[in-house]
Amino acid sequence: MTKPADLTPRPLNPAPPAPEFPWPNGKKSALFIGFDVDAETAWMGNRPENADRMVTTSHGGYDARVGTAKILTLLNDLGLRATFFIPGWTVEAHTAMCESIVAAGHEIGHHGYLHKCPDPTKPDEARDEIDRGMAALRARLGVTPVGYRAPSGENFAALLAYLQEQGLRYSSSFRDDIRPYRHRLPDGRPGPVEIPVNYAFDDWNFGMTSRVDPRPIFGRDAILPIWDEEFQGMHDWGGVTTMVLHPQVSGRPMRWRILRDFLAGVAARDDVWIATGAEITAHFEACETSARVAGAERDTG
């Protein structure tokens, strides 16, 4: 049971805004390439009745049959490392696919177990998702993740505390900042680092449509200018551009090419730090320790 929503005026995210700190080696901004390898869980985690609908879940099946391999090839061609957030169910259902990601040297992040949207009214379920996802990553891949991206992009205070307890050092789900910051837990203690996402880089917004969720889809001329300018703007501001990609979208032929061209453009620059979530977190933590993180004035209302 949870108590009714507390509408008392205060920042609903109690964490102070992102502090100032330098990126490594004089870089002006960071690019965090994140993939959510949901596979079928994107379609039946929150809607279990879809598990028997083979075409609906076949969108997710593309991950294991085609998409992830194509993405790995792309990253290899460009010499880039990324972070792959994988639900425990996907690890168990498609172990060989997940092993290939590990083998290619990419970071593996936690993405729940069945991709259930964290629900503040069901804290036990949310914790169970963490436990089972962690167990699957350890048992099948021998990986203990340090990063977490919320399935369906949702989170709540008690879950942040639980992430911290379980050793997850960073989260990458929030939409409220342009640079990493440290969460503050309900009891005032520091929580995980947040590497906030940029929803303009969620490929689902442009390239997924289905019977159960019809949406318009867009091509290169609509997407690449958005990505290029959003990146340039973020770069000018010294932030982190956090991508929310999915092999079942960006592993499709045209979308793979659009992603390739965007990434190649950034990779060709010498003023951008392309890093995994773990690397960004480690850098942030090191800055905190060495006091290179400037105290940010809190907006306390």
State which of positions 167-226 bind a second copy (CB under 8 A).
Answer: 173-178, 196, 198-200, 205-206, 209-211, 213-222, 225-226
253: left (phi over 0), alpha (psi -120 to 50) or beta: alpha
- For residue 118, the Cα-to-chain-centroid distance in whole angstroms is 15
Between 125 and 177, whose beta carbon lies closer to a second copy?
177
Q: Which is nearer to a second copy, 54 or 286 (CB)?
A: 54
Give, as ranges, the residues between 92 and 121 that touch a second copy (CB under 8 A).
92-97, 114, 117, 120-121
Rg of the chain on CA atoms, in Å: 19
The answer to the question of residue 89 lying near a second copy (CB under 8 A) is: yes
Q: Find, among 83, 42, 34, 47, the residue nearest to 64 by Cα.
A: 42
Judge whether 60 and 41 are in contact, CB under 8 Å: yes
Scan residues 141-160 and list those touching a second copy (CB under 8 A): 150, 152-157, 160
For the bound state, the minimum distance from the C-beta of residue 174 to a second copy, rounded and expressed in Å, comes to: 4
**Least distance to a second copy, CB of residue 48, Å:** 5
**Site for a second copy (CB under 8 A): which residue of 10, 20, 139, 144?**
10
Check residue 11 for interaction with a second copy (CB under 8 A): yes
Interface with a second copy includes 286 (CB under 8 A)? no
DSSP-derived letter for residue 213 is B
Which residue's CB is nearer to a second copy, number 282 or number 296? 296
- State how far the Cα of 134 lies from the Cα of 148, in Å rounded to an integer: 10
Helix (H) or strand (E) holding 109: strand 107-110
> Whose CA is closest to 198, among 180, 215, 222?
180
Size of the site for a second copy (CB under 8 A): 98
Phi first, then psi: what are they for 296, rounded to 5°? -95, 140
Please state the closest distance from residue 118 (CB atom) to a second copy, in A.
Answer: 9
CB-wise, 31 or 64, nearer to a second copy? Answer: 64
In the complex, what is the shortest distance from the CB of residue 200 to a second copy, in angstroms, rounded to a whole number? 7
Buried b (16+ CB within 10 A) or exposed e, 253-270: eebbebbbebbeebeeee
Restricting to residues 116-135, name those near a second copy by CB under 8 A.
117, 120-121
Burial class (CB in 10 A: 0-12, 13-18, 19+), 297: exposed
Distance of CA 136 to the CA centre of its chain: 18
How far is residue 215's CA from residue 249's CA, in Å, rounded to a whole number?
Answer: 13
Place of tokens 């689902």: 204
The residue from 20, 77, 131, 229 that contacts a second copy (CB under 8 A) is 229
CB of 72 to a second copy, least distance (A): 14
With CB under 8 A as the contact rule, which of the stretches 13-21, 185-193, 264-272, 286-294 interacts with a second copy? 13-21
Using CB under 8 A as the binding rule, whether residue 139 contacts a second copy is answered as no
Q: Decide: is 52 part of the binding site for a second copy (CB under 8 A).
A: yes
Stretch that binds a second copy, among 58-66, 161-169, 268-276, 286-294 (CB under 8 A): 58-66
Q: What CA–CA distance (Å, rounded) separates 179 from 267?
A: 20
- Binding status of residue 253 toward a second copy by CB under 8 A: yes
Encoded tokens for 132: 């089972």
